[in-house]
């Protein structure tokens, strides 16, 4: 006898899972049909559910505002497999996810107002967030120019639409406007830039 209404039982757990996956008909009919087709359908529904839950989760977290722009699908990012220094790759990941030691994040942990989380390097009153570090802070202009020069070399290869004087964060961290074959160069270059910026920042702050 099936114990589908007894919490904790195998049948209850299975029925609940199928309902959550919009596959209750399989339970009601006690038939899954062709095993290969069923397996493929089951995997698809699980991926869809994971994607929905992931999307709902990141919408609830304010620190992931940039991350939501950069990552729109629950898939493994190609840059994670690129051959480049691990530290540089880690920095790219941290900047994409907002998990940095920039003032915007440190101030959030201390319950400071966003406008109070200013850059202590340039002292312009600007909030030190990912965009400030990547495209705005004048202290890093000389390093940013080297990054622009590297990207300019890709123009004939598919980056001719990029405005090098106003680089965008989605381009630098998300590969926007970048052809697939050039993304590795962009991410490597951004990783090098971030490593040099964070080293300079650390030196200037004496941390």
Does residue 105 lie within any of the structural domains?
A: yes
Does residue 74 lie within any of the structural domains?
A: no
Contact 162, 186 (CB under 8 A): no
Q: Taking residues 25-41, what's their average pLDDT? A: 86
Task: Provide the pLDDT for residue 166.
Answer: 56
pLDDT over threshold 90, residue 192 = yes
DSSP category for residue 122: T
Does residue 111 lie within any of the structural domains?
A: yes
Longest dimension (CA), the chain: 74
Task: Provide the pLDDT for residue 102.
Answer: 96
Angle of helix 183-205 relative to helix 86-97, nearest 10 degrees? 90
Rounded to the nearest integer, the mean pLDDT of the chain is 86
Q: Are residues 101 and 47 in the same domain?
A: no
Q: Taking residues 30-50, what's their average pLDDT? A: 88
CA 130 – CA 166 distance, rounded (Å): 15
Which residue range forms the structural domain that includes residue 108? 82-205
Q: Are residues 104 and 195 in the same domain?
A: yes
Contact 27, 15 (CB under 8 A): yes
Task: Provide the pLDDT for residue 125.
Answer: 96
Q: Are residues 104 and 15 in the same domain?
A: no
Q: Are residues 43 and 134 in the same domain?
A: no
pLDDT over threshold 90, residue 195 = yes
Neighbours of 192 (CB within 10 A): 18
Q: Are residues 99 and 198 in the same domain?
A: yes
Task: Provide the pLDDT for residue 1.
Answer: 46
Q: Are residues 186 and 133 in the same domain?
A: yes
Q: How confident is the model at residue 109 (pLDDT cuts 50, 70, 90)?
A: very high
Nearest one of 67, 79, 75 to 170, comparing CA atoms: 67
More confident residue, 87 or 73: 87
Q: Name the domain count of the chain.
A: 2
Task: Provide the pLDDT for residue 32.
Answer: 83
State percent of the chain over pLDDT 90. Answer: 42
More confident residue, 68 or 191: 191
Q: Are residues 98 and 139 in the same domain?
A: yes
Q: Which pTM was predicted?
A: 0.77
More confident residue, 7 or 160: 7
């Amino acid at each position: 006898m099936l114990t589908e209404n007894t919490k904790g039982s195998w049948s209850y757990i299975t029925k609940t899972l199928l309902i959550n996956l919009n596959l209750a008909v399989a339970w009601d009919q006690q038939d899954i049909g062709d095993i290969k087709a069923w397996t493929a359908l089951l995997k698809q529904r699980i991926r869809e559910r994971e994607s929905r839950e992931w999307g709902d989760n990141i919408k609830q977290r304010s620190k992931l505002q940039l991350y939501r722009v950069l990552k729109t699908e629950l898939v493994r990012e190609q840059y994670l497999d690129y051959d480049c220094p691990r530290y540089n790759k880690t920095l790219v990941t941290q900047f994409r996810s907002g998990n940095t030691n920039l003032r915007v994040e440190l101030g959030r942990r201390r319950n400071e107002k966003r406008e109070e989380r200013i850059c202590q390097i340039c002292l312009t009153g600007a909030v030190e967030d990912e965009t400030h570090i990547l495209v705005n802070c004048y202290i890093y202009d000389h390093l940013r120019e080297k990054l622009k020069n590297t990207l300019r070399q890709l123009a004939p290869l598919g980056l001719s639409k990029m405005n090098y004087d106003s680089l965008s964060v989605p381009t630098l961290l998300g590969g926007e406007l970048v052809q697939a074959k050039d993304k590795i160069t962009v991410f490597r270059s951004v990783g090098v830039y971030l490593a040099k910026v964070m080293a300079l920042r650390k030196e200037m702050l004496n941390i």
